Chains A and B, each alone.
Chain A
Amino acid sequence: MNRIASIRRTVRSLHSTASTINPDEIDFFSRLASQWWDPRGEFALLHRMNPVRVGFIRDKIIQTLDEDITPLDHLSPTRSARILDGMEALDIGCGGGLLAESLARLGARTTGVDASESNIKIAALHASADARLTTGINYRYGSAEEMVAEGKKFDLVCSMEVLEHVNNPRTFLTSCADLVKPGGHLFLSTISRTPLSYFLAIFMAEHALRLVRPGTHDYSKFVKPSELVEFFQHPDLAWISRTYGGIPIRKEAEIRGLIYNPLEGAWKTLPAGLSGTQCNYLFWARKPNLS
């Protein structure tokens, strides 16, 4: 059985958008998919960043699971190897599915949504090659706002490297927040608006080193960590009750700088806090439980 036929069949068997892929397009999109997923290709930086982002998600989830445990829970059997087992996750701006696949492998029933139809096709094709994934992962072409309108809620909402690209960050963040179940988690990663981020993310990465395509970023859209904290501290949301020197308390939200070492070709997270958040950073906040 040749490869295209098998992809066609698997694609047809996928529940969502992937099934709308025209068979004639499959060749085209599988080529795009292999470019998108080439760890040394155009998205190399993103590929290298993914394990670090998932590490942040994993550590925060484990930490909150540990903190949520009531004394009686200690008697329950040990946690599954898949730490996101039983959770519903949403990845907004899923691209080719890098993060979504990781979330699915960690056990979450995962939905990836992207405003680019081509990204969704790439992601669906890539996941369809791995039969272990297709049951736990579901891709759709669309926007966060559409999902809000449908009243969808998730235990885990992620949106990585998206915020700095949207036109109306306030509306976007409101939608993200709305999609999180009470007690659920929101993970963001983005770029701050500082002279350093201009230098690194635009001058160096786009122009001098050509790590990413020129024009990828627009400096004015970058969001500072303090602006995120303010947003989630506003009484409308009140996810963050108080801050100390601009830093939220650990059970409510966390900010971590993310730096790239070009010599090692590796990303690293910095300790929680504002240091090192002048360029790329990760943000986590937890929606308060209904009480």
Chain B
Amino acid sequence: MLCARPLLFRSACLSKSIPSRPFSKDSAAASYDVVIVGGGLSGLALAAAIGSLPLARELLNIALVDASDLTRKYNWNSDPHTYSSSVCSITNASREFLDSIGVWQHVEQSRTSPIESMQVWDGISNSRICFSNSDIDPGGSIFEMARLTENLNLHRALLHRLDEIPGRVELIDQVKVESITRSGTWPVVNLSGGRSLQTRLLIGADGFKSPVRSFAQIGSSGWAYPSHAVVGTLHHPSSNHPQHNTTAYQRFLPTGPIAFLPLTKEVSTVVWSTSVQLASILRSVHPDVLAHLINAAFRLPEVSIRYLHSILLERGADGITPESITEEIKFRENAHGIGPHSALYSSDVVSLGVGIPPIGSEAYPPLVHSVQAGSQASFPLKLSHADSYVGEGVGERTALVGDAAHTVHPLAGQGLNMGLEDARVLAQTIGEALSLGGDIGSYISLIPYHTARYAPNHAIISVIDKLHKLYSLTSPPAVWARSVGLEVLNELGPIKSALMGVAGSKTKQDMAEPLQHYGAAGWHAAATVVESLSGGIRTGKVVAGSLGGLVSSLVQNAAKNTRG
């Protein structure tokens, strides 16, 4: 081997002040300080965050590899009448981070929607919890609770931001990482097409199946939920709904939660987690059938939802027409005495959109008129948490962010937000190591990232999972306990505001406080509450009627956790 100079630098890279020679002299691979595998939202946000570090310009050589076509995402042309059904709610904390690294400015604002309140209720008892910005900020200086955006809108913004940081991040798309090896101490990423990248620090932002995690031999624990999430874009034009479509709704059915997430005044998205069999039918039913089923799923008593599900399972996606499902829903409405003047009525969508809305309509989402063609999709749901976010020994010089490190049920809209917070903290950790002359790939440089992120993520993962478990139960004591729990929660200002703290809402005076701490305390408090509820069910305490005891222990736990 005669020449061991790095190959394949984009011309922009040549203008950099960084000497582009390899760290290890015996390698034919191009050398980088940071290679990020994965151009999903977490990986791109991390690239933008590192690229925005003041020290990075002079000191770092960064590449990002992704299997997909990033140019297509860069050029995404948003048709004003159609919306992608892959959406995420972005907390205020995440938005602030995206703003600070110059990304939020590139998000097309008219295609995002603020979430100003949330209504969450029990599918069986109808016990309800309402979150709204006025809860934590009676004075009205609060911004919003969260912001809904299409993933593509954010994807494009991230790519446009990276474009502004010339030469600092080399994007290598439409190639797969085929293997990861090591040359001396340095990880080497071998790409389809034969190119190899040697790196000081290898970051796995490569999603649930993370090849980087496997390479680093970092274990991961968790399980697949026996459910999938069906998504779709919902149109509800000329709605006479009392809200301006800035309320998110979520109903916990025993089969899983169904969520309605506003995107514009007349467009929203559904995220419907349900059994795998049912999900595969909902994904492929006629869009009009899905529209009817969604309206009913938010309104009809649980017994009727169960009945509709049994029909779907019996007849399959092709056995149901919009007409036949309307008949079935009408039949169930009659059985429950639900007439056209009830907020629970949904079988005649067209005539309902006009005139004075029935009393109590604001408790339910706007009636869906149609589901956008081609927007139905479904995703498997799982819980997983890596044993560590930083590799050691055989895995040295690696770190994990986003879904590569953890996946959660979407019921709390936290997955991406956790990944964005990972990206923020990891970039900060790298910046600190640079300013200390550290080797940014070393365990010592990276361990503060693991320490800062592991416990907070763990708290979120556990509370989401416990909520999911609690709401899958249908036995009367469980329903009773969680209904009381929800109502107690509703009264607990500190827990609510803390919960919303992690949901990113904060008053102006909170601005100075580190948000993640605020949020983490809230999740711990929430975890304790959920734990108390589950505990009550197990021991039968609740059935014994010790309401006073349950409530006071909830309050005590909450007080303890919010104070401490």
- Give chain A's interface residues, CB within 8 Å of chain B: 1, 3, 6, 9-10, 39-40, 47-48, 50-51, 54-55, 58, 80-84, 101-106, 129-132, 264
Q: Which residue of A lies closest to B59 (CB)?
A: A81
On chain A, the residues within 8 Å of B21 by CB distance are 131
B138 at the interface (CB under 8 A from A): no
Name the contact of B54 in the complex, choosing from A3, A51, A81, A83 (C-beta under 8 A).
Answer: A81
Q: Which residues of A contact B451 (CB under 8 A)?
A: 264
Further contacts, 5 of them, CB under 8 A, given A81-B434, A102-B438, A131-B24: A39-B443, A51-B438, A81-B55, A84-B437, A101-B437
Sample 14 A-B pairs with CB under 8 A, ordered by A number.
A1-B1, A6-B25, A6-B184, A10-B25, A39-B442, A39-B447, A50-B438, A51-B432, A81-B58, A102-B438, A106-B437, A130-B23, A131-B25, A132-B19
Query: Is B75 in the interface zone, CB < 8 Å from A?
Result: no
Q: Which of B1, B26, B57, B185 has the most CB of A within 10 A?
A: B26
Contact status B24-A81, CB under 8 Å: no
CB neighbours (8 Å) of A103 from chain B are 437
- B442 and A54 form a contact (CB under 8 A): no
Residue from A6, A84, A264 whose CB has the most chain B CB atoms within 10 Å: A6
A110 CB → nearest B CB, Å: 10
**B511 interfacial by beta-carbon distance below 8 Å:** no
- Please name all residues of chain A whose beta carbon is closer than 8 Å to the beta carbon of B445 when the two chains form the complex: 51
Decide: A39 near B58, CB < 8 A? Known: A54-B437, A131-B22. Answer: no
Q: Which residues of A contact B437 (CB under 8 A)?
A: 54, 58, 84, 101-106
Q: Within 8 Å CB of A132, what residues of B?
A: 19, 23
In the complex, are the beta carbons of B184 and A3 less than 8 A apart? yes
Shortest CB–CB separation between residue A100 and chain B, in angstroms? 10
Query: Using Cβ atoms and an 8 Å threshold, which residues of chain A touch B432?
Result: 51
CB of B436 within 8 Å of the partner chain: yes
- In whole angstroms, how far apart are the Cα atoms of A3 and B184 in the complex? 7
CB contacts (< 8 Å) of B15 on chain A: these are none
Contact with A along B8-33 (1 / 0, CB 8 A): 00000000000101111110000000
Pair A39/B438 contact, Cβ less than 8 Å: no
Do the beta carbons of B444 and A48 come within 8 Å of each other?
yes
A79: shortest Cβ distance to chain B, in Å? 11
Using known A-B contacts A1-B26, A9-B25, determine if residue A130 contacts B436 with beta carbons closer than 8 Å: no
**Nearest chain A residue, comparing its CB with the CB of B440:** A105
Which residues of chain A are near B435, meaning CB under 8 Å?
Answer: 58, 83
Give the complex CA separation of A82 and B19 in angstroms: 14
Most B CB contacts (10 A, CB to CB) among A3, A6, A51 go to A51
Inter-chain contacts of A50 with B (CB < 8 A): 438, 444
Cα distance A264–B442 in the bound complex, in angstroms: 18
A54 touches B23 (CB 8 A): no
B interface residue numbers (CB < 8 A to A): 1, 19, 21-26, 54-55, 57-59, 184-185, 392, 432-439, 442-445, 447, 451
Task: Tell me whether A6 and B24 are in contact (CB under 8 A).
Answer: yes
Closest B-chain residue to A50, C-beta based?
A: B444
Complex interface: chain B residues within 8 A of A9 (CB): 25
Contacts of B392 in A (CB 8 A): 39-40
A57 to chain B, nearest CB (A): 9
A54 to B439, CA, bound (A): 13
> Which of chain B's residues have a CB closer than 8 A to the CB of A105?
437-439
A1, A103, A104, most chain B CB atoms within 10 A? A1
A contacts with B: majority SS: helix
Residue of A nearest to B1 (CB): A1
- Residues of chain A within 8 A (CB-CB) of B58 are 80-82
Contact partners of A3 in chain B: CB under 8 A: 26, 184
Hey, which chain B residues are within 8 Å of A6, CB to CB?
24-26, 184
Minimal beta-carbon separation of A160 from chain B (angstroms): 14
* B59 vs chain A, min Cβ distance (A): 6
Residue of A nearest to B451 (CB): A264
Q: Please list the 5 inter-chain residue pairs (A to B) with the smallest Cβ-Cβ separation, ordered nearest first.
A: A102-B437, A105-B437, A106-B437, A6-B26, A81-B58
Which partner residue on chain A sits nearest B21 by CB separation?
A: A131
Kindly list chain B residues whose C-beta atoms are within 8 Å of the C-beta of A39. 392, 442-444, 447
Shortest Cβ distance from residue B34 to the other chain A in the assembled complex, whole angstroms? 14
A232 CB to closest chain B CB (Å) equals: 26
Q: How far is the CA of A55 from the CA of B442 in the complex (A)?
A: 17
> A12 to nearest B CB, angstroms?
12
Residue of A nearest to B183 (CB): A3
Which residues on A sit within 8 Å (CB–CB) of B436? Answer: 51, 54-55, 58, 102, 106
Which of B57, B437, B438, B443 counts the most chain A CB atoms within 10 A?
A: B437
* Alpha-carbon separation in the docked complex, A83 to B436 (Å): 10
Instruction: For B57, list chain A residues within 8 Å (CB).
Output: 81
A51: chain B residues at CB < 8 Å are 432-433, 436, 438, 444-445
Residues of chain A lying within 8 A (CB to CB) of residue B19: 132
**Residue numbers in A under 8 Å from B442 (CB-CB):** 39
B216 smallest CB distance to A (angstroms): 15
Kindly state the separation between the CA atoms of A108 and B392 in the bound complex, as whole angstroms: 29
Shortest distance from the beta carbon of B348 to any chain A beta carbon, whole Å = 63
Q: Are B23 and A131 in touch, CB under 8 angstroms? A: yes
CA distance A106 to B434 in the complex (A): 8
Cβ contact of B184, chosen from A54, A82, A106, A129, cutoff 8 A: A129
Rounded to whole Å, the gap between the CB of B51 and the closest CB of chain A is 14
Inter-subunit contact A130/B439 (CB<8 Å): yes
The 8 Å CB contact of B24, one of A40, A104, A106, A129, is A129
Q: Complex: how many Å from CA A1 to CA B439?
A: 25
In the assembled complex, the CB of B75 is this many whole angstroms from the nearest CB of chain A, namely 34
What CA separation (Å) do A103 and B438 show in the bound complex?
9
The CA-CA distance from A3 to B438 in the complex, in Å, is 24
Closest to B436 in A: A54
Bound form: Cα–Cα A100–B265 in Å? 61
Docked Cα-Cα span, A80 to B437, in Å, equals 13
Cβ of A101 and Cβ of B439 under 8 Å apart?
yes
Give chain A residues whose Cβ lies under 8 Å from the Cβ of B1.
Answer: 1
B residues near A47, Cβ cutoff 8 Å:
444
**Nearest CB of A to B560, in Å:** 21
Q: Shortest distance in angstroms between A127's beta carbon and chain B's nearest beta carbon?
A: 11
Q: State in angstroms the CA–CA spacing of A81 and B57 once bound together.
A: 9
CA distance A102 to B451 in the complex (A): 22
A123 to chain B, nearest CB (A): 14
Residue of A54, A83, A104, A132 contacting most chain B CB atoms (<10 Å): A132
Q: Which residues on the A side are within 8 Å of B54 (C-beta)?
A: 81
Question: Of B21, B432, B442, which is in contact with the most chain A CB atoms at under 10 Å from its CB?
Answer: B442
Min distance, Cβ B118 to any Cβ of chain A, angstroms: 36
- Residue ID in chain B nearest A9 by CB atoms: B25
Q: Which residues of A contact B26 (CB under 8 A)?
A: 1, 3, 6
Chain B residue at smallest Cβ distance from A1: B26
